[in-house]
Amino acid sequence: MSAIKTIGVLTSGGDAPGMNAALRAVVRTGIYHGLKVMGIRKGYNGLINGDITEMSLRSVSDIIHRGGTVLQTARCPEFKTEEGIKKAVSMAKVFGIDALVVIGGDGSYKGARELSKAGIGVVGLPGTIDNDIGCSEYTIGYDTAMNTVQDAIDKIRDTAYSHERCSVLEVMGRHAGYIALNVGIAGGAEAVLLPEKAFDINKDIVKPIIEGRNRGKKHYVIIVAEGVGGAIEIAKEIQEKTGIEARATILGHIQRGGSPTVYDRVMASMMGARATEILKNGIVNRIVSLKDNKIVDIEINEALDMKKSIDDGMIELSRILAL
Ligand code: ADP
Ligand code: F6P
């Protein structure tokens, strides 16, 4: 018999489209399995401060299509302290929370692990646009963010073509280049600069642009991952060295918002459902992940030790296709 009767759910770290779909799934499948579900606002801050209310089937109505997170989110420095964890555990007890579902990134999982050590069972769901969680092939929000960037590239391409310019587009991803590499391929970029791969601006950007121009190319799109940064300086250098007008666009937080794609909604729903299935069986301290294209759950310490790396074959493909 499961000892878990009441679960809490929170979203933590950067918001991501699809977090609402995950929350909805946790609440509805949780109630379906007979669990009481408490919604915690503003990440670990809400757990420390008791910003907690019971969720009902209807409290998650009309949110599946909305970006962001209706529970709101936060980065909570206090939670990184022993005192913060103690306060959170004590507040969880006040509200009778036996276990917690944390929708967030790697940082949020580290916080969740501290909670589990202090006796509150946890289940993590991968929520970040960056796709930078070592144990999962996919993170909730990644697909929507890539589609938002893709839409921007298509628009930028129209104006770059009209002016025969080079557009340098800086995209999010924190220290990871997953968004950059995929949109580089999907958007037909001339070059993609990734934090995972060393590059030489002359060999990898200037020369291909000049060679392209000599073959009659009319415009150029260069994708710079946030982890490389410096899009404005890179655009200046391209203009100086090629004589082709270059413009930099730093897409910024537009990439984090917007209505989630079908893929993000469905994956978030399936992952949310997996979380309550685990908890209803009395199991805790697991991270729900995508592995070999299947939803699995992994022990939290093992999950936090896992690393993944960007596919060298994809990097090579992006170079070949840019020829
Ligand atoms: P993400 O979850 O998207 O990776 P952050 O790295 O900002 O985002 O982490 C979100 C929150 O998780 C932090 O503000 C903090 O409250 C908590 N957290 C992160 N790292 C730790 C840690 N080592 N110990 C305890 N809590 C942590
Ligand atoms: O983790 C998601 C993300 O959008 C990263 O891509 C980016 O580096 C970071 O969050 C930005 O954080 P903030 O919204 O706090 O500026």
Q: What is the DSSP string of 99-166?
A: EEEEEE-HHHHHHHHHHHHTT-EEEEEEB-TT---TT-S--BTHHHHHHHHHHHHHHHHHHHHHHT-E
Please state the domain count of the chain: 2
Q: Does residue 120 share a domain with residue 177?
A: no
Q: Does residue 220 share a domain with residue 198?
A: yes
Residue-by-residue pLDDT tens, the chain, 323 positions: 458 999 999 999 999 999 999 999 999 999 999 999 999 999 999 999 999 999 999 999 999 999 999 999 999 999 999 999 999 999 999 999 999 999 999 999 999 999 999 999 999 999 999 999 999 999 999 999 999 999 999 999 999 999 999 999 999 999 999 999 999 999 999 999 999 999 999 999 999 999 999 999 989 999 999 999 999 999 999 999 999 999 999 999 999 999 999 999 999 999 999 999 999 999 999 999 999 999 999 999 999 999 999 999 999 999 999 87
Q: What is the pLDDT of residue 323?
A: 76
Determine if ligand 1 sits within 6 Å of the CB of residue 107: yes
Q: Which residues' Cβ are closer than 6 Å to ligand 2?
A: 14, 128-130, 172-174, 226, 256
pTM recorded for the entire structure: 0.97
Catalytic residue list contains 130: yes
Strand order in the sheet with 191-193: 191-193, 220-225, 166-171, 246-250
Q: Assess if residue 84 is contained within a domain.
A: yes
Q: Which ligand has the minimum distance to the alpha carbon of residue 133?
A: 1
Q: What is the pLDDT of residue 1?
A: 42
**Partners of 217 in the beta sheet?**
none
Q: Which of 15, 98, 106, 130 is catalytic?
A: 130
Structure tokens given for 86: 């103690």
Q: What is the pLDDT of residue 44?
A: 98
Q: Which residue has the tokens 């997953």?
A: 178
Q: Does residue 226 share a domain with residue 178?
A: yes
Structure tokens given for 183: 């949109």
Task: Yes or no: say if 135 and 289 are a contact pair by the CB < 8 Å rule.
Answer: yes
Residue 55 — φ and ψ, nearest 5°? -95, 150
Give the residue numbers spanning the domain of 101: 6-141+260-305
Task: Tell me the CA–centroid distance for residue 77 and ligand 1, in Å.
Answer: 8
Give the chain's radius of gyration (CA, Å). 22
Q: Assess if residue 313 is contained within a domain.
A: no
Q: Which of 140, 131, 167 is nearest to 25 (CA)?
A: 140
